[in-house]
Amino acid sequence: MTAAALIARDGAALSALQKLRFFPLAVTGGQGCTLIEEGGRELLDLSASWGAASLGHSHPAIRTAVDQALANQAGASILSGANESAVELAEMLLNITPGTEDRCVWLGHSGSDANETVARAIPAATGRSRIMAFSGAYHGGTHGSMSVSGHTAQEGAVKASGLTLVPYPDPLRPFEGDPSGEALLAHIERLLATSCPGDEVACFFMEPIQADGGLIVPPANFLKRLSQLCARYGILTVCDEVKVGLGRTGLTHCFEHEGFIPDILVLGKGLGGGLPVSAVIGPSRIMNYATAFSMQTLHGNPICASAALAVLTTIQAEGLARKARDVGSILMDEISRATSNLPEVGDIRGRGLAIGVELVKDGSHDPDADLARKVVYRAWQIGAVFYYVGMNSNVLELTPPLILSDDEARTGARILAQAIISRSHMMITGKASRILCAAVILSIKPRYMF
């Protein structure tokens, strides 16, 4: 079957509600950091399905764990019975996550259901009705997770009645011109003392790197000081590491870069290595607030739990956090070198293997979303897969598998630079043009959409 035929079947059979297509990609398989298209063409995967394929594709540790779990399947749920894999996963998450309070773990399917659970449980358990979060934050695609998000992709979503959004500390486009974040901290403190009373705020959702908002790294000590401010008011800090956690930034947890320990940690995507599993680690007084408060039949199923155990064990055994730091440094340095003379590249930022390349117009700070669309398409044409994010859809996002090699990093940097350089020469004709119109232009608007 040709790629065009598979895409046509996809268009007829699968709902547009669950699609975000940037180019006519039709995948038949994959190994490591390589995706294989219809026809056998190999592509370097610099996205890992938005970070979900944390160990790459067809990793032997995950395959073995899933095969063993299926060979003698211990049910399909923790809803009405315990299974060893789910319990062991929860114990391991508690062991690798710092914290002093009595804690426990909630297991789910995705970052969306995990953040929704937190957004419902904390106000219920604390009796506080307000929630704070950052503009640009994407905490998920369910009703509850969208209600506490601040991304332009979800402008039509109903927000929580007690939600207050504040700007994310962006050193490139700083609040009140202050790249240190001091002015923003003062602004938040004024809100807590006036229009958003601190004693009514249940929690503050934060990302230690704002992922879908544009791979923005906050100023040093900002989140530490914000957590201290929250503690003064008894506000719980919720750290959403769905995309940037578990070794991706060079440390086990991304918040470790920031010098603070959140009250609640949310994990997803890469936790399952490609299988659907998420987790919330938090105080038992919150997580055990009520029985039957946030449950689904397949939560804690032993197959996904076994995959997650394999992911965590492999990250530790193979030193993948350290590898992400080292290879990420190569990838960022190579991109910087290859694009140093390109005024279209306004900023290169990130930690480890969570890297953002911001594209701008004529060396200014004006976002260039059109260029970003052309670049990801061109990169796919010449051999690599990555996408774009950001409030203005102009930031190339690189979240490759944690097993990315030095050579693959250098190849990826060359492809990215070549895609930017050749953007004005990109020729799309005939059938490819029709596919692009159907699969990309009509579904990807100037703003980033999920």
Pairing verdict, β 42-45 and 384-385: parallel
d(CA 387, CA 23): 10
Residue 393 per-residue DSSP state:
S
Residue 7 and residue 435 in contact, taking contact as beta carbons nearer than 8 Å: yes
For 183-246, give the secondary structure using H, E and C: HHHHHHHHHHHCCCCHHHEEEEEECCCECCCCCECCCCCHHHHHHHHHHHCCCEEEEECCCCCC
Angstrom CA distances, 190 to 74, 149, 193, stand at 53, 22, 5
- Catalytic: 168? no
203: Cα within 13 Å, side-chain hemisphere: 29
Nearest CA-CA partner of 298 in 34, 32, 107, 431: 107
Which is the catalytic residue, given 138, 168, 387, 448? 138
Contacts of 192 (CB under 8 A, 6+ apart): 198, 201, 229, 233
Residue 57 per-residue DSSP state:
B
Residue 58 per-residue DSSP state:
S
d(CA 314, CA 265): 21
H/E stretch holding 132: strand 130-134
Tokens standing for 168?
């994310």
24-42 burial code (b ≥16 CB/10 A, e <16): bbbbeebebbbbebbeeee
Residue positions annotated with a catalytic role: 138
